[in-house]
Amino acid sequence: MKNKRSDPVSDNQPILHDLTVSWLHDFKSQREKSTIEMYERVVRILEKSPVGSLKMSDLDRHSLQQLINENAAHPRTCQKIMLTYKQVIKYAISMHILPVYALYDLCEGISVPRYRPVERLPLSQEEKDAIRSARSKLDPRELSYLMILMGCGLRREEAIALTPSDISIARRTIRVNKAVGFYKGSPYSKGTKNGIERSVPMPPDTLSALQAYLPLIKGNHLFTDSEGGMLTVGTYRTLWNGITRKIYKEMPPGAEHKLTAHRFRHNYCTLLCYQIPTISVRKVASLLGDSEAMVMNVYNHILEEKEDLESVINVIAAEM
């Protein structure tokens, strides 16, 4: 990119990859580790791409489009590249490496593949039947984890972070005040999403599973590896694969296998929404550890299904 205007820029021109590393160190080193890991993945992409070795003054729109095209098979990755690239360009402008108009000149009009999030689906009847059949085949640890997801709607990272003291058999509640994150496969403790802490009631099946499991726990967490430590990405996958393998065996031949921890949370959310107005949107949000706006946005189609316009009109007519 040539400086055709009067903006003073530095003669010291680093390459894109190196400047991205500097930006990450200077401005993102205090962010949550999972966020840092996301940016580090973009750095590795730049390291392998010819675009990453270009001097900042040699960048043009074609450079960014080339980078996007190289990763077009992964739309979500392209979104992250765009996010990172724009921030690095702003960083370069603030350092007087690029002129002030560089953000527009380098980033405007780039074609990015559309990212379509995985459709949120509650559990199908086929899956519910398979889960019900498989429950007797799960060991106490597997059953407890599954029933926490299914009966309480916890996020995966919240369930993994639970300690025995978070379970109150007397009050029949689970305290959710922390979560687990993973950085390069290793776990670390962090706060809950949005900093929201809550107490979630346990239905009878979840309570029963935990009553049987709690006396067997030897580590400081509810779910641990073989040595009593926090689950890593690898040991968590072992736990989850053990659960789903037993469930899939109970499903008809040819059935799709799409069970994730978040599917159980989504199923819980969906069932709660069907209980509105017996419970309020505010209460649903409280149980989920989310905002009312999120509940309305994500589950509005369910709320609309429950609307009975004819009955409302009849009530209005009766009052006229």
Give the integer Cα–Cα distance in Å for 57 and 17: 13
Least confident interval from 49-53, 150-154, 214-218, 293-297: 293-297
Pairing state between β 173-176 and 167-168: antiparallel
Q: Band the pLDDT of 232: cuts 50, 70, 90.
A: very high
pTM greater than 0.85: no
pLDDT tens profile 264-298: 999 998 888 888 778 888 999 999 999 888 888 77
Q: Is a pLDDT exceeding 50 seen at residue 312? A: no
pLDDT tens profile 65-119: 999 999 999 999 999 999 999 999 999 999 999 999 999 999 999 999 998 876 6
Which residues have C-beta within 8 Å of that of residue 269, sequence separation ≥ 6?
A: 153, 284, 288, 295, 298, 299
